[in-house]
Each structure stands twice: as C-alpha cells, then as structure tokens.
Amino acid sequence: MTSEEKDINLELKKDLIVSDYRMYFDAATRSLDRITTLRQWEITLLVAVFSFALSQGRIGSFAYVMLAILIQFAVLESAIRGGLKLTYQGVNEVERLFLTTSDSSSIIENYVFGNTKRATITFRQKVKAMLQSMVHPDFLVWNLSLVVVFIVLFILL
C-alpha cells in the first residue's frame, strides 16, 4: 500500500469515526427523550391510580399499586440511564482520541467502532452501569420527590 493510499484510508477512517461520534450523540439524545417519556407515563399512571383510589374511597388499598408503579418506573429509568452511561463512555473515548497529541494515525487505525464495541459489553458491565446510574442527582431528585409526594398524600388522606 502506497503512502497516498494509506493517507486516503486514514482520512476515510477519520470520517467514519466522526460518524460514530454523531451516532453516539444521537443515541444519547434518544435515551434522554425516552427518560422524559417514561416520566410522563409515570405521572399519568400515578395520577390515574390515585384518582381511582380517591373516587373509590379506598386510598390505603391502592398504596401498594402506587408503590409498585414507583419502583417499576425507577427500575426502567435506571436501565435507560445505564445505557446512557455506556453511550457517554463511547463519546468520551472518541473525544480523547481527537485530543491526544501523540501519533494519532496508529490510534485511528486501531479504533474499534461502536457496534463492535457494544457487542463486547458484558451483562455484568450493563448491570454495573445501571446500578451506578441510580446515584445520578437527576434520578435521585426525581424519585425521592415522588416518594415524598406519595408519603404526604397518604398522611393527609
């Protein structure tokens, strides 16, 4: 392979890496949209169950249903946030790649693209990312505020 062909291949691979970077950002945006939609459904279901319980006059008997909704949506959100955490790791890796001042051609030649990299993520790594996402401030504030509202409603009624 001549040096000119090598340079062309290197430029093509750089373009593919930039495309991979954009793919990571699109995946992150979709995950954030899913979290927003999930939260909207959570509020909708909680209000529906609470309204039904209030109309039946048996709020205490529906407390378990509302608690189950809170727990289920917290687990779903943490799963989405775990995937988001892994996506952000990919974004950071690509950013580090372009910020290095060392021999970038060898780094670019050895770059592993997103689909291949995601195929090597183990179940343990996914669960670890999911559990780590449960301490994200946004996750904690959202779920703790819902729990506080839940407790206050049952104390008042």
User: pLDDT digits over 110-148, tens only?
Assistant: 677 766 666 778 889 989 999 999 999 999 999 999 999
Task: Give the span between the Cα atoms of 149 and 42, in whole angstroms.
Answer: 13
Give the per-residue pLDDT at 32: 94
Task: Give the span between the Cα atoms of 144 and 37, in whole angstroms.
Answer: 19
Stretch 6-24: mean pLDDT: 80
Q: Which domain holds residue 29?
A: 3-156
Closest-CA residue to 43 (of 154, 146, 116): 146
pTM of the model: 0.80
Task: Give the span between the Cα atoms of 77 and 24, in whole angstroms.
Answer: 19
For 62-113, how does the pLDDT look when each residue is reduced to its tens digit (9 = 90+)? 888 999 999 999 999 999 999 999 888 888 877 777 776 566 666 676 677 7
The number of distinct structural domains making up the chain is 1
